[in-house]
Structure 1
Amino acid sequence: MTLKQLFYDWGGVNVSLFHAINDSSGEFLIRLAHAGNLAGDYWGMPALFCVLVLLARNSTHRNDLLAAARLRLQVRRLIAGFLFTWLGVALLKVWLDFPRPLTVLGANVHVFGTPHDLYSLPSGHTAYAALVAVVSWMLVTPVFRPLLLIFVTWVGWSRVVAGAHFPADVVAGALLGSVAGMSAHRLVQALPGEGNPAPMRRAFDHVLAQARRAHVAGQRARAFALLQDAHVLGQCLLWPHLLSHLWMLRLAFAHRDGEEMRGQLLRIALVPIGNVMGRLPLGNTGDAQVSAFRPMPIPARLKESLEEHYGG
C-alpha cells in the first residue's frame, strides 16, 4: 500500500465520502454550500482585517487598552498566518499536483461555481477558514469557540458539495491552516505600547518635525541625530518606523553617502517583517553604523517619553 493510498485514498473511503456529501440535494443545502464557499474565500481576509482594526480603535477610545493591544496583536498574527497559509497551500498544490474530483470522477460529480481540474490538495478555502478560527480563538469567550469549529466544518463541507475537493483535501487544508495560525501565534510577539500608540506617535511626530527643520537649515549632524531619536521612539509603529528610515535614506542620498544608503534600503525592506512579527531591537538607532538586529540602551532623554507610553 502506497502512502497516497493510506493517507489520501483511505482505502476508498475518501471517494465514497465525497459521493455521500456531493450528492446532497435540496435547495437549502445548495444555498448553504454557496454561502460556505463565499465565507471561506481568501477575499474575506481584508474585511476581517478591517473589522479587527476598527474594534481595536474602538477599544482604545473606550480606554480598554488591554483589549486594544490584544486585538492589534491578533491583527498581526492574522497577517503572518495568512502569508504562511497562502505559501503552504501554493507549494503543496503545485508539488503534489493531485487532480480535482471532476478530473477523477467525470460526470459523476455535481459542480457549481467555476470548475477546476488541477491542484486539489489541500483546500485553500478550508485552510483560510481554519486560520480565521485559530486567530479568533483568543478573541471570543469559550462559549462561542464551538462556533469557530462549526465554521471550519461548514466551509470544508461546502467545498465538497461544490465538487471542488475531496474530503481528504478539506482535512489537509484544515490542518495546514491550523498549523499556520498556531505558528503565527508562537512567532508573532506583542509590541510595547500596542494598546495606545497615539502618545508615542505624537512624540515621534514632534522629533521628526525637528529633524526636518534641521535638514532644511543644513544642519546635517543634528538632523541625523534627531532621526535616530525618532527611530527609537517610533520603531514599534509601522508607519513611523518606515518613515524614520525613509528620511535617513533621503539624508544619505542628499550627502551621497553610499554606505548609509545601502544600509537604509536593507532596513526599509526589513521594516514590515519586523513590525508584523513583533521582533524589533528596542533602542536601536536605525542607522547603518549599527547592526539592524542589535538592541541598544535607550538614551536618557527618551526614557521618560517611552516609559510614559509603554507603561514601564
Structure 2
Amino acid sequence: MTVKEVLYDWGGLNLSLFQAINHSVGKLLTPLAYAGSTAGSYWGMPLLLCVLVLLAHNRAQRGDFLVAAKLRLQGRRLIVGFLSAWLSAGILKVTFGFPRPLKVLGSEVRLISTPHDVYSLPSGHVVYTTLVAVVLWPLVKPRIRPLLLTFVVWVGWSRIAAGAHFPADVVAGGLIGILSGMIARQGVRPSAIGRNVTSIRSAFDGIIDQAKKAYAAGEWVQMRILLQDAHVLGQCLFWPHLLSHWWMLRLAYRCRAWRAIRGQILRLALVPIGHLMGRLPLGNTGDANVSAFRPMPIPIGLKEILEKQYDR
C-alpha cells in the first residue's frame, strides 16, 4: 500500500465519503451548498480586514484602546496568515496536482460549482475559512465560538457537496488553515497600546520642523541628531516612522553618503514589515550605522513623552 493510498485515498474511504455526500444533495440542499462555497471564498479577505480596521478605529474613538489594539493585532495576523496559507496551498496544489472529482468520476459527480480538472489538494476555501476562525477566535465570546466551527464545517461540506473537492482535500485545507494561523500568532507580536498619540505626534512634528530648518541651513550634523530623536518618537506610528527614514534618506543623498543611502532604502522597505509583525526595536535611532533590529536606550526627555502615552 502506497503513502497516497494511506494518507489521501484512506483505503477507498475518501472516494466513498465523497460519493455519499455529493449524491445526497438534492434540490433542497443545493442552495445551501452553493451559499457555503460562496461564503468561504478567499475573495472575502479584504472585506474582513476592512471590518477589523473599522472596528478598531471605532473602539479607539470611544477610548477603548485595549480592544482596538486587539483588533489591529488580529488584522495583522490575518494578513500574515493569509499570505502563509496562500503560499502553502499553492505549493501543495502544484506539487501534487491531484485530480478533481470531475476528472476522476466524470458524469457521476453532481456539480454545483465551476468545473475544474486538477489541483484538488487542498481546498483553498477551507484553508481560508479555517484561518478566519483561528483569527477571530480570541475576539469573540465563548458562546459564539461554536458558530465559527459550524461555519468551517459548513464550507467544508459545501465543497464536497458542490463536487469541487474530496473529503481529504477538506481535511488538508483545515490543517493548513490552523497551521497558518499558528504561524501568524507566533510571528506577529502585539504592539504598544496607545492611550492618546496626539502628544507623540505633536512632539514628532516639532522635531521634524527643526530638522527641516537645519536642512535648509546646511547644518547636517544637527539635522542628523534631530532625525534620530524623531525616529525614536515616531517609531510607534507608521507614517511618522516612514517620514523619519525619508528625511534620513534625503540627508544621506545631500551628503552623498552612499552607504547611508543604501541603509535608509533598506529601512524604508522594512518599515511596513516591522509594523505588520509588531517587531519595532524600541529606542533604535534609525541611523544607517546601527542595526535596524537593535533596541537602544531611550533618551530621558523622549522617554518621558512616550511613558505618558503608552502602557509598559
Q: Pick the TM interval, shorter chain.
A: over 0.9
CA shift, 1:115, in A, is: 1.5
Partner of 2:50: 50
Residue 208 of structure 2 aligns with which residue? Answer: 208
Percent sequence identity over aligned pairs: 62
Output aligned runs, 1:75-90, within 5 Å: 75-90=75-90
1:4 aligns with 2:1: no
What TM-score, normalized by structure 2, do the two folds share?
Answer: 0.94
Change beyond 3 A, Cα 1:41–1:212:
farther
Q: CA deviation at 1:134?
A: 0.4
- Tell me the amino acid that sits aligned with residue 101 of structure 2: P
1:267 Cα offset (Å)? 1.4
Q: Residues 17 and 206 of structure 1: is their aligned pair in 2 closer, same or farther, counting only changes over 3 Å? A: farther
Q: What does the per-residue CA deviation read over 1:167-199, in whole Å, with 9 as the maximum and x for residues that have no partner? A: 100110011001110221122111113565454
- Counterpart CA distance in 1 for 2:196 and 2:31 is 43
Q: Does 1:184 align with 2:181?
A: no
Write the mapping of 1:75-154 to structure 2, written as runs, cut at 5 A.
75-154=75-154
Cα distance in structure 2, aligned partners of 1:40 and 1:109: 21
Tell me: CA distance 1:109–1:213, structure 2 relative to 1, closer, same or farther (3 Å): farther
The residue identity in structure 2 corresponding to 1:167 is P
Equivalents in 2 of 1:113, 1:209: separation in Å?
59
Cα distance change of structure 1 residues 213 and 24 upon mapping to structure 2, 3 Å threshold? farther
- 1:51–1:119 Cα change, 3 Å: same
**Residues in 2 aligned to 1:243 and 1:25: alpha-carbon distance in whole angstroms:** 57
Structure 1 unaligned spans of 5+? none
Pairwise mapping of residues 204-243 of structure 1 onto structure 2 (< 5 A)?
Answer: 204-243=204-243
CA–CA distance in structure 1, aligned partners of residues 175 and 277 of structure 2: 22
1:212-257 CA distances to partner (integer Å, 9 max, x unpaired)? 3332333322222222122111222233222222221122122221
**RMSD across aligned positions (CA):** 1.7
- Give the match for residue 34 of structure 1: 34
Listed as ranges, the matches of 1:232-311 within 5 Å are 232-311=232-311
Q: Which runs of 4+ in 1 moved over 4 A?
A: 194-199
SS at match of 1:138: coil
1:128: how far off? 0.6
Q: Name which of structure 1's ranges 22-31 and 54-63 shifts more when overlaid on structure 2.
A: 22-31
Gaps of 5+ in 2: none
Answer whether contact 1:99 1:120 (CA < 8 A) is retained.
yes
Q: Does 1:73 align with 2:73?
A: yes
Give me the whole-angstrom Cα distance separating, in 1, the residues matched to 2:196 and 2:123.
Answer: 38
2-structure distance, mates of 1:30, 1:36: 10
CA distance in 1, matches of 2:34, 2:283: 51
TM-score between both structures, scaled by the size of structure 1: 0.94
* 1:308 partner letter: K
Q: How many residues align?
A: 312
